[in-house]
Amino acid sequence: MSPDILHGLQSVLQADVLGFLVLGVLLGAVFGALPGLTATMGVAVLTPLTFWVSAEKGLAMLLGIYCGAIPAGGIPAILLNIPGTPASIAATWDGYPLAQRGRAGLALGINALFSLAGQLLSILFLAVAAFPIAAFGLRFGPAEYFGLALFGISLMAGVSGNNVLKGMLAGMLGLALSTVGLDPMTAYPRFTFASTEFLDGIAFVPVMIGLFGLGEVLGQMSEKHGREIEMPAALGRVWPKLDEWRKMLLPGLLGAGLGTFVGAIPAAGGDIASVIAWEQARRLSRRPKEFTKGSIEGLSAACGSCNSAIGGAMTTMLTLGIPGDAPSAVLIGALLIHGIQPGPLLFRDHGALVYSIIFLMALAAVVIAGVGLVGARPLARALRIPDPWLWAGVIMMGVVGSYALNNSIVDVWVMFAAGLFGLVCRKASIPLGPLVLGLILGPMMEANLRRALILGRGDWGAVLSHPIVLFFLVATSASLLWPLWKKLRSTKKTAG
Amino acid sequence: MRRANTVLGGCFLALGVYLLISAWRFPAGMGRLPGPGFFPAVLGAVIVALSVALLAGARRAEGPGWKLENKAALAMTVALLAGFLLLWGVIPFVVRGFLFVALFLRFLGQPWKVALAAGAVLTAAVVLAFQYGLRVTLG
């Protein structure tokens, strides 16, 4: 066995690290289960709590939140027909009808078991595929990194539905914000408004808390009129019977496989994965008419896929530094705070840490499955907490967390401004994903482009003619033009 | 959506022009190598082009505009939060936090007793966790 595996396991199997993992999973379960809170918000708002602990403990807690929130998002999806996180959208289609037929316990059991299966399968993929991908990534020079960053942002913008233009503008805004502070090559101050507070750039965590915490709260306040909670009277049997296992196993595993693949595509998160997997399971099923009426096959595919997207997203994030979904985008910022830089070098220089991450994720998957099976009832009761209480808690955590980063009130004002901007983005249908990605990838993109130009003595042709760069440029163009072409085609069809 | 996209396009256009003008004032690079203004200038140019496209498309934009409900609650939350931050260092955190949470909850329709109790509990939890647990000076 590789010494890195042993070291990784050793650092995970410590009482305090495990304690932080369990705490993270429980907090993640609360953030996932309560409809007003999301996994992304959980990682963003709770990141400041990890500033004071070692990287291993902080990592354990953050991964626990991420891995705990997604499966817990299935609980309100099944009981209330409200997805707790965007990834649980497909779980509402069969989970809620199943609960309405008096089998809420079984639906919650399927959610817990196939979340475990999906997460473990995708973690296995991470363990097997990540090292070869990272080894390939080690061949990248500055020009290739520039191409990769450009491609990542274009993908985020490209999957912005009908708002590709707004997605591109959001990505550009993120990149523009990343230029605030000292120039990475010459240390010339840019857009600092003569304030020393901005010399290090705009702090990433307050922006995340503002966009995904305060912005989400304000967005919900601008829409909600209060939700009515009608819970099933009794949950009933949780564990599936043998014949139910037979029906669910194949669609569940198909969902897990598809989810891992889709999750690994930058910007395509658990929501897209679960919709695709549910549709494929319906197509392949012998009982397609049962779908949307409480099909256990549909539910297992949905739960397996949205959870397996976690491992896929983490593979892309850890190997190339490009997040696979919104929570992993926020997680990158949190990892950077702990001095962990995702990318190929992480695998070459800190192999043990990578294995720690893999073991932590696997343990978190097991813990949240246990919570889902045993603790579904108390979590279901937590759904009755009124929204204003949750909002007050999120705002307070956001304010204090932003301040605690540098003991700076400027960071809190940045969070406040980001929150207001987050509200505008929600109202104006501006996707936040490209903005976050632009902010994260901006420094890498600029520094590598300029490094590549220095190496090429200012010759753009030399920079852009690298085969991998060319591939990324073609892929970038395709990802941006594809939605436009699709829209044009559908307009023509409608006109015809 | 037409008006919303026009306003948005205008804001982005202003940002793009600002980036271009600012980048122009930054020191030039050495020879053919780009200086500190190069990247912001490229971004500014792209933002200007995209904003013009958004403005041009705004005429054909369909669908409802921005829909803000509970405007009074939103405005009060923003005002309360701004006040909470402006009074940072002036009034102790315990008082500020308590007042913010209690008034926020009261304004959102919670009974006074519940609002006051939640304000006290939440503020105490934050102070205990951050000030005493994590040694953050909240002021």
| CB within 8 Å: B134 and A52 | yes
Q: In this complex, which of A392, A420, A458 lies closest to B122 when CB atoms are compared?
A: A392
Residue B30 in contact with partner chain A when CB distance is under 8 A: no
Q: How far apart are CA A398 and CA A43, in angstroms?
A: 11
pLDDT of residue B9: 92
pLDDT of residue A383: 75
* SS3 assignment for A61-100: HHHHHHHHHHHHCHHHHHHHCCCCCHHHHHHHHHHHHHHH
Tokens 């030039």 locate to B28
**Calpha distance A116→A300 (Å, rounded):** 11
Residue B12 pLDDT: 95
**C-beta atoms of B57 and A396 within 8 A:** no
- Rounded to a whole number of angstroms, the distance from the CA of B40 to the nearest CA of chain A is 7
Task: Report DSSP letters for A313-352, one per residue.
Answer: HHHHHHHHS--SSHHHHHHHHHHHHTT---SHHHHHH-HH
Q: Rounded distance, CA B139 to CA B127, Å?
A: 10
Q: Which residue in B33, B74, B135 is closest to A458 by CB distance?
A: B33
Q: pLDDT value at position A1?
A: 64
**Which of B81, B87, B88, B128 to mutate to probe the A interface, most A CBs <10 Å?**
B81
Instruction: Tell the residue number behind the tokens 């901007």, with chain if given.
Output: A421
Helix (H, G, I), strand (E, B) or coil at A200: coil
Enumerate the residues of chain B whose CB falls inside 8 A of the CB of residue A188.
26-27, 35-36
pLDDT in tens, B73-101: 899 999 999 999 999 989 999 999 999 99
**In angstroms, what CA-CA distances link A233 with A238, A377, B54?**
15, 11, 51
pLDDT number for residue A421: 94
Contact A427, A218 (CB under 8 A): no
Please tell me the total number of residues recorded for chain A in this structure: 496
Give, in order, the Cα–Cα distances in Å from A286 to each of A279, A291, A298, A301, B71. 13, 11, 12, 14, 50
Contact A172 B46 (CB under 8 A): yes
- Among B19, B40, B136, the residue with its CB nearest the CB of A407 is B136
Residue B88 touches partner A, C-beta closer than 8 Å:
yes
Residues in chain A predicted with pLDDT less than 70, given as ranges, are 1, 36, 156-162, 224-233, 267, 495-496
CB A205 within 8 A of CB A401: yes
Residue owning tokens 């396991």: A9
pLDDT in tens, A444-478: 899 999 999 888 888 888 888 889 999 999 988 88
Buried b (16+ CB within 10 A) or exposed e, A138-173: eebebbbbbbbbbbbbbbbbbbbeebbbbbbbbbbb
The alpha carbon of residue A218 is apart from the nearest alpha carbon of chain B, in Å, by 7
ipTM of the complex: 0.92
Q: Is the pTM of this model over 0.90?
A: no
- Is B88 in contact with B96 (CB distance < 8 Å)? yes
The rounded distance, in Å, linking the Cα atoms of A64 and A32 is 12
Rounded Cα distance, A248 and A60, in Å: 31
- pLDDT, position B129: 85
**CA–CA gap between residue A229 and residue A33 (Å, rounded):** 14
Could you tell me the CA-to-CA distances from A103 to A109, A229, A291 in Å, in that order? 10, 18, 15
Suggest the residue from A403, A408, A453, A481 to mutate for an interface test with chain B (most B CBs closer than 10 A): A403
The Cα–Cα gap between B61 and B63 comes to 7
pLDDT computed for residue A231 by the predictor: 65
Q: How confident is the model at residue B65 (pLDDT cuts 50, 70, 90)?
A: low
Cβ atoms < 10 Å from Cβ of B134: 15
Contact A223 B69 (CB under 8 A): yes
Contacts of A271 (CB under 8 A, 6+ apart): A86, A87, A89, A306
Rounded Cα gap, residues A19 and A392, in angstroms: 27
Note the pLDDT of residue A227: 56
CA distance B85 to B81: 6
B63's tokens: 């669908």
Of A179, A214, A404, which is closest to B130 when you measure between CB atoms? A404
Q: How many CB atoms lie within 10 A of CB A241?
A: 10
Query: CA-to-CA distance for A156 and A441, rounded, in angstroms?
Result: 12
Cβ distance B39 to A446 less than 8 Å, yes or no, reads yes
Contact B22 A190 (CB under 8 A): yes
Radius of gyration over alpha carbons of chain B, in Å? Answer: 24
What's the gap in Å between the CA of A294 and the closest CA on chain B?
33
Length of chain B: 139
More confident residue, A465 or B116: B116
In DSSP terms, B88 is beta-bridged to B91
Q: Tens of pLDDT along A308-317?
A: 999 999 999 9
Q: Which residues contact A179 (CB under 8 A, 6 or more apart)?
A: A190, A191, A442, A446, B39, B40, B43
Torsion angle in degrees (nearest 10) through CA of B49, B52, B53, B54? 120
Q: Could you say which DSSP state residue B28 is in?
A: P
